[in-house]
């Protein structure tokens, strides 16, 4: 079993470590750069500014036509405001509504998007704007990356999970029957725009699912952020702006730094998959229905932390501390009761494989992580029970 350890994450350039940098200070607009040369962009965070976002996108892209890809609930509540801003800049907007849920990330829906793009008259000078959660961003972004060999797209995430994770870094893709995200491409957005006011319409379960990715960022990279969340999780779940905005800013900065240092997941970026090996197996067995991605990630993180302790990577108590914080957000922390063989079969198609082994992300303690190249049977050992 080969082992690769990663050093503890450094703070974002110009950022201050510790809880003081997360006090909010009354600012309702933040900007986090993602520096990737000529493909650089910013994650812009604000509140109650969807129409302004539309105008900003129009200025940024300078295109005549945009396909706005979204889901039914978001389309009714937020698409009109975003569309007004785009049209104010002379952009012709065609709305495409896809079903919600991870099962939508499939080749059939992808083909439908291509047909809709052609019907709207999109060409290589057009663009795609995704409005919604991670499913919309992954599906719409992958369609943009491959339509006419690639056109521009912009992310406007409306869930916590998409804001802190899925919208940043250019990973796009769809699922196959055999597993998650097995077909995809790296295609960086031209911009990412967050309006935290959109989180108010999320049910508590969706907020919790997003909080899982926020906790993940702290667990692998920033022990002080993790401690800060331990003192403020209830305030985050209640969407207090002085907690939500700085927490999102820090989580986005962590994701941005990792992406800048390893855009195409050659090594360091694998750490962002902490908890995802088992999570993807849980989702696959559920047919991508009935369990949210963040819920599966919460289960997977606790499992990964427990295995890390057993393998000697993490100090005893790491998993218990992680589980306690996730449970305060209302998240599950134990895997569904299925046979070990079923989980082994599911993780056998993990896309992070190399020479028949999996780059399993392990905890080195709260705030630090690494990878261990392991066989599936060592990740889920004989006698393991959910």
In 61-219, which ranges are E strands? 65-70, 92-97, 127-132, 152-157, 171-176, 179-186, 192-195
User: Strands 369-374, 357-363: parallel, antiparallel or unpaired by DSSP?
Assistant: antiparallel
Catalytic residue list: 149, 171, 213, 255, 265, 269, 273, 276, 280, 293
CA distance 27 to 274: 31
User: Strands 41-46, 192-195: parallel, antiparallel or unpaired by DSSP?
Assistant: parallel
Cβ–Cβ < 8 Å for 347, 283: no
Phi, then psi, of 282 in degrees rounded to 5: -60, -45
Looking from the CA of 367 toward its CB, the CA atoms found within 13 Å total 14
In 158-305, which ranges are E strands? 171-176, 179-186, 192-195
How many helical (H) and strand (E) elements, i.e. helices and strands, does the chain have?
14, 13
What kind and span of H or E run contains 44? strand 41-46
């Amino acid at each position: 079993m080969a082992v690769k350890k990663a050093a503890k994450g450094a703070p974002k350039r110009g950022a201050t470590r510790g809880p003081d940098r997360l006090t909010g200070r009354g600012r309702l607009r933040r900007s986090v750069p993602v520096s990737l040369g000529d493909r650089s962009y910013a994650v812009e965070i604000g509140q109650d500014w969807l129409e302004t976002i539309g105008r900003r996108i129009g200025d940024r892209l300078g295109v005549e036509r945009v396909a706005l890809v979204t889901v039914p609930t978001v389309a009714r509540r937020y698409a009109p405001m975003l569309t007004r801003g785009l049209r104010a800049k002379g952009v012709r907007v065609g709305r495409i509504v896809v079903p919600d849920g991870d099962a939508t990330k499939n080749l059939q829906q992808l083909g439908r998007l291509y047909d809709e793009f052609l019907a709207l008259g999109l060409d290589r000078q057009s663009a795609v704007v995704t409005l919604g959660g991670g499913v919309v961003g992954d599906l719409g972004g992958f369609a943009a990356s491959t339509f006419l060999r690639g056109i521009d797209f912009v992310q406007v995430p409306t869930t916590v999970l998409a804001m802190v994770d899925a919208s940043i870094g250019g990973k796009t893709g769809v699922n196959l029957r055999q597993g998650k995200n097995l077909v995809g491409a790296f295609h960086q957005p031209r911009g990412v725009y967050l309006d935290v006011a959109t989180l108010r319409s999320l049910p508590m379960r969706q907020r919790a699912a997003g909080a899982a990715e926020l906790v993940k960022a702290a667990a692998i990279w920033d022990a002080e952020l993790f401690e800060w969340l331990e003192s403020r999780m209830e305030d985050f779940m209640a969407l207090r702006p002085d907690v939500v905005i700085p927490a999102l800013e820090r989580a986005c900065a962590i994701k941005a730094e990792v992406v800048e240092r390893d855009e195409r997941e050659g090594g360091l970026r694998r750490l962002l998959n902490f908890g995802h090996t088992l999570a993807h197996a849980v989702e696959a067995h559920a047919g991508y229905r009935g369990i949210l991605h963040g819920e599966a990630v919460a289960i997977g993180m606790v499992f990964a932390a427990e295995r890390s302790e057993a393998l000697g990577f993490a100090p005893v108590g790491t998993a218990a501390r992680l589980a306690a914080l996730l449970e305060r957000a209302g998240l599950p922390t134990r895997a569904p009761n299925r046979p070990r063989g079923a989980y082994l079969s599911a993780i056998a198609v993990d896309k992070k494989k190399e020479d028949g082994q999996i780059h399993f992300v392990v905890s080195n303690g709260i705030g630090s992580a690494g990878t261990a190249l392991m066989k599936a049977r060592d990740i889920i050992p004989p006698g393991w029970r959910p």
